Structure 1
Amino acid sequence: MTFLFTCPHCQSQTEVEDEFSGRTGDCVVCGREITMPDFAGVRSQANRPGKRKKSAIWFVAAGLALLLIGAGLIAAIQVGSRTATKIRTGRQRLSSIKNMEKIASALNAYATDHGVYPAPYTTDGAGRKLHSWRVTILPYLDEDALFNQIDKEVAWNEGENQAMIYSQTPTVYRHPESSGWGTGTVYHLVTGSGTLFPSTGPLGPRQATDGATKTILLVEGQMQSMTQSWMEPYDLDVASIGGAINPPSGKGLGGATEGGVCVVTVEGNGYFLPETTPPLTVQALISPAGGEPLPDDVLDEWASAER
């Protein structure tokens, strides 16, 4: 067995066999006289049970410390990941709401000029659907040039309009997570009986007698409800969607923004409604004149504070 010996004169270290234990001689480096220690005693001390026990305890403690450090790192990574996801989701909501508030402002500007909101779609003489309301309000979004390029006499996907489907999409109609979604949009009106857009013709802000702060004007739809093009005359029928948010069926509100749905009321303010919002509350908010007993702060109650 070898031992590491340090010369007391030159501090050089040399491996020495235990057979030289206790002997005197010259240092191979500095040449000065040195005496080897009693290696047998050192070996005996190292092999004592107490020493081995302390070493074992030290290794166990070191192992536990490493485990704790590892667990701490994993927890930190998980917390960091959740925080990053939360920040990303919050930014997504804000961006979508900003888009929707701009669209709502254009819808309200149109209503100011015409007394009512635009019809969900335009038609030709035979009653065939041509274009979405999204085309109609382009001048109110400062998109006059694009509005003038569109042939309003033929359908959105016919003639020269067909080439525009894949080339020009107003930024405001793009959801913030729309990468890879083509030229479609998830921003819709809710149409049908008991809405701002019944089959008899669109209503105006003044006809939202339930209150401008308690009547939804614009919503996000499910991915399945995304249009082929923002010009396509397609919206959400109230009879089909009910009041559930992000339902398993895929037919309803939400789905574009994680955890709920972004909406804008007649007054023009945007909110995020979580999936836990009761369907009856959503239905009451869609109705402009249903007389449902909703508190004035209903959207503040259900809307997410993480805006």
Structure 2
Amino acid sequence: MNRMPYLFTCPHCHTRTEVEDEFSGQSGECVVCGREITLPNFAPGAVARPSGGVRIGKRRRSAAWVAAAVVMLLLVGASIIAVARVGGSTAQKLRQGRERIASIKNLETIAQALNAYAADHGAYPPPAIKSRTGKPLLSWRVMILPYLGEEELYDQFNLNAAWDSDQNQMITYQAMPSVYRHPNSQPWATDTAYHLVTGAGTLFPKTGPLGPKQVVDGATKTILLVESQGSSSWTEPIDLDIVASGGRINSVTGNDFGGVTEGGVCVVTVDGRGHFLPESTAAMTVNALVTPRGGEPLPDDVLD
């Protein structure tokens, strides 16, 4: 004899489930909210789709299989939710991995331009194009545009005016090279996450920038360019100060390395290779990596 399934909705928590007509009029507990419920006398033809869980059979043993079936449904549902959560976590990790790779590619492209500039001029560009009185006007990012294949864009800038002058600011908003935009950024953003590390003992001290040939500690263990959350327009002459950063990665100060990539910071060394430094890296190690001639002992795999 075929039994007819009916749809019942718990009046307390509104969970719905499919039950067969032989349990019409029985009482039990809702498996979701645990409150007492009584099934109605189902009308013929009230067929429904399964959609929830009710445990029937507190008063009749013959209904125990319903409780088991409902528990099984709930367990399957919980498993599906768990799989969905694991899948979501995996998807998030894949996304973060792609963003990390994309950021490292940006850094390597910029480093290639910086090294090409240094090959022509004997040293890296100064962090800022300055006025005759020493006022910082435009970032080094403008200075290396020809080495990024952006000669026409470079020619549009007024190198004798500040980055936020009317002419220069209009160009800033209209034509930002994609290589300066972090993969986490919005496509219309003009802020950049890629900065030099400046200050005493770095490649960019106040006395003037050094060049690759002046790197004593090795091109593979000296950082040239880093990610930093210090918000700045790509043409604004602002970079990461080694003293203010303290060698920290992803701290809450906003003046340190990282802050834009989950779990650490993407960097590129003088040899043009990109790396990822986890946020657990000791500040002493970070500081040693940005000094080109500090002589600090570093393990060979520090940047692997």
> 1:201 and 2:205 equivalent?
no
Residue 292 (str. 1) matches residue 299 (str. 2): no
Q: How does 1:164-183 map to 2 (within 5 A)?
A: 164-179=171-186, 182-183=189-190
**Equivalent in the alignment of 1:35:** none
Corresponding position of 1:121: 128
1:183 deviation in Å?
0.9
Match of 2:159 in 1: 152
Q: Which amino acid aligns with 1:179?
A: Q
Q: Unmatched 5+ residue regions in structure 1? A: 5-48, 301-307
Quick one: structure 1 residues 194 and 141, their matched pair in 2 at CA, closer, same or farther if it must change by over 3 Å? same
Deviation at 1:260, TM superposition (A): 1.2
TM-score (normalised: structure 2): 0.78
Moved more, 159-168 or 65-74: 159-168
Name the aligned partner's letter for residue 144 of structure 1: E
The root-mean-square deviation of aligned C-alpha atoms, in Å, is 1.7
Summarize deviations over 1:97-142 as a string: whole Å, max 9, x none: 1111000000001111111100001111111111111011000000
Corresponding residue for residue 267 of structure 2? 263
Q: What fraction of aligned residue pairs are identical, expressed as a percent?
A: 59
1:75 counterpart letter in structure 2: A
The DSSP-based 3-state class of the residue aligned with 1:140 is helix
> 1:72-118, CA deviations, whole angstroms, 9 ceiling, x for partnerless residues?
11111100110110011011111111111000000001111111100
**Unaligned 5+ runs, structure 2:** 3-56
Aligned to 2:287: 283
Alignment of 1:14-163 (within 5 A): 52-53=60-61, 55-163=62-170
Q: Which residue of 2 aligns with 1:246?
A: 250
SS across alignment from 1:163: helix
Residue number in structure 2 paired with 1:45: none
Deviation track 1:37-70 (CA, whole Å, cap 9, x = no partner) reads xxxxxxxxxxxx9xx53x3331232122112101
Matched position secondary structure for 1:160 = helix
CA distance in 1, matches of 2:253, 2:128: 26
| Structure with the greater alpha carbon radius of gyration | 1
> Following the alignment from structure 2 to structure 1, what is the Cα–Cα distance between the partners of residues 205 and 82?
53
Size of the aligned set, in residue pairs, is: 248
More helix by share: 1
TM (norm. structure 1) is 0.78
Separation in 1 of the partners of 2:69 and 2:285? 58
Distance in 2 (alpha carbons) for counterparts of 1:159 and 1:62: 72
